[in-house]
Amino acid sequence: MSSDQQPLLRVRDLVVEFNTEAGVARAIDGVSFDIYPNETVGLVGESGCGKTVTGLSILGLIPSPPGKIVQGSIEFMGRDLVSLPEEELRNIRGSEISMIFQEPMTALNPVFTIENQMTDVLTRHQGLTRRQAGKAAIEMLDKVGIPIPEQRIKEYPHQLSGGMRQRVMIAMALSCGPKLLVADEPTTALDVTTQAQVLEQISLLQDEFHMAVILVTHDLGVVAETCDRGIVMYCGNIIESADINSLFNHPRHPYTEGLLNSIPRLREKKVDQLPIIPGRVPDLFHLPEGCRYGDRCNRVTDQCRQTAPLLQSVTEHTAVSCFHPVTQTSG
C-alpha cells in the first residue's frame, strides 16, 4: 500500500439504487476508495450499511432488477467495470477478480461434483482441457489444505463440512490467479476454529498469488487480525478509512469509536456492561438531512444536523467524514 504504486482498483462516486415497492432505496451513496496491489482491506459495517452491495458491484453482480449502478466508476487495471460490456466483464469474473461468499452451504451447486465445478472455471478462463483442468484443480485443493484432494474432488458439496466447502470456494476463486479477491463474510457461517484456519489460508495464499483482498465483514476482530487497512461504512457512506493501527488505536469517527468500544477486550479490566451505541440505523427511505449518524452521535451539533460531512483526508491514507472527529489523544 505504498503511495508510489498505482491503485489496482479505483472506485469513484459509486451510487447504487434499488427499486422497491416503497420507493427507490439508495443502498450506496457516493462511495470512493482505492485498493492497492497485495494489500488486504477490510470493508466493515453493520448489516445493511452497503458493504456487501459494494463488493457485489465490483463484479457487476448486483441483482438487476431491482438494483442498478446509477452513477460512478469502478476502474480496475485501466478498465471501467461499470461501463464494460457484460461479455468482457464475464471474462474478468473468476479470473482477474474472484469472489467468495458467506454461505459455503449454498454457494456451491449441490448437484455437481467439486471437480465439475472447478474444472468448469479453469477450462473457461484458462483454456485448459478437462484433464489439465482436473489436475490443476487437485493442486489447488491441495494448496488450500484439503486432505486427499484427488478423492475429495469427486465428491459433492453436501459430503464436505462447512469449512471444507469454504476451502473449495477459495480454491475455485484462486484457481485462475486473480489480482483481486472479494471475500464477502467468508467466515461468518463457520465455527471459530475453522474461521481462524480459513482466514490464515487466505493470508498465506495472498502472499503466494500476489493479490489484493477486500474482506467484507461485520467482525472487527477479523479485520484487526488480517487487514492492512479498514474502510468503515455506515448507511451507504464511507465514514472512515484508515490503516489498521490508526483505525483501532486512534479511531477518528465517533461511530468507529462506538463500534470499537462495544467489542469486549480480554486485557482490560472487567466492566459491568459493554457500552452500546444508542438508537438505531435510520432506514434508507427516511435519511436525516445532515450527518446520517447524527441522531446516535454524542458529539452532534447543529452543523451536523444541517449539512452532511464529506469524507476528508486527514493524512495520506486516512480519511474521515466528521465535523468533530475524535481527537487523537482521547484514545
Which residues of the shown chain bind other proteins in the complex (CB under 8 A)?
Answer: 19-21, 59, 61, 65-66, 87, 90-95, 98-99, 101, 103, 106-112, 120-121, 124-125, 156, 158-159, 169, 172-173
**Given the complex with other proteins, which of 99 and 238 has the nearer CB atom?**
99
Q: How far is the CB of 41 from other proteins (least distance, A)?
A: 19
**Given the complex with other proteins, which of 124 and 305 has the nearer CB atom?**
124
Q: How far is the CB of 64 from other proteins (least distance, A)?
A: 10
Burial 154-182 (b: 16+ CB within 10 A, else e): eeebeebebbbbbbbbbbbbbbbebbbbb
Q: How far is the CB of 129 from other proteins (least distance, A)?
A: 18
- As a whole number of angstroms, the distance between CA 40 and CA 200 comes to 12
Q: How far is the CB of 58 from other proteins (least distance, A)?
A: 10
**Given the complex with other proteins, which of 32 and 123 has the nearer CB atom?**
123
Coil/strand/helix, residue 76: strand
**Given the complex with other proteins, which of 12 and 90 has the nearer CB atom?**
90
- As a whole number of angstroms, the distance between CA 11 and CA 199 comes to 25
DSSP 8-state code for residue 93:
B
Q: How far is the CB of 178 from other proteins (least distance, A)?
A: 10
Q: Which own/partner pairs from 227-231 qualify as long-range (CB within 8 Å, at least 24 positions apart)?
A: 227/40, 227/41, 227/42, 228/1, 228/39, 228/40, 228/41, 229/1, 229/39, 229/40, 229/41, 229/42, 229/317, 230/41, 230/42, 230/44, 231/33, 231/41, 231/42, 231/43, 231/44
**Given the complex with other proteins, which of 154 and 265 has the nearer CB atom?**
154
**Given the complex with other proteins, which of 104 and 254 has the nearer CB atom?**
104
Taken in order 299, 49, 162, 208, the sign of the CA dihedral is negative
Q: At what angle do helices 162-174 and 130-143 cross, to 10 degrees?
A: 120
**Given the complex with other proteins, which of 114 and 238 has the nearer CB atom?**
114
Residue 35: phi and psi, rounded to 5, are -125, 130
Residues of the chain by 3-state class (helix, strand, coil), percent to 5: 35, 25, 40
Q: What's the grid cell of residue 302?
A: 447543529
**Given the complex with other proteins, which of 182 and 259 has the nearer CB atom?**
182
Q: How far is the CB of 54 from other proteins (least distance, A)?
A: 15
Q: How far is the CB of 53 from other proteins (least distance, A)?
A: 13
Q: Are 178 and 186 in contact (CB under 8 A)?
A: no
Q: How far is the CB of 59 from other proteins (least distance, A)?
A: 6
**Given the complex with other proteins, which of 23 and 331 has the nearer CB atom?**
23
- As a whole number of angstroms, the distance between CA 180 and CA 193 comes to 26
Q: Are 157 and 169 in contact (CB under 8 A)?
A: no
Q: How far is the CB of 149 from other proteins (least distance, A)?
A: 19
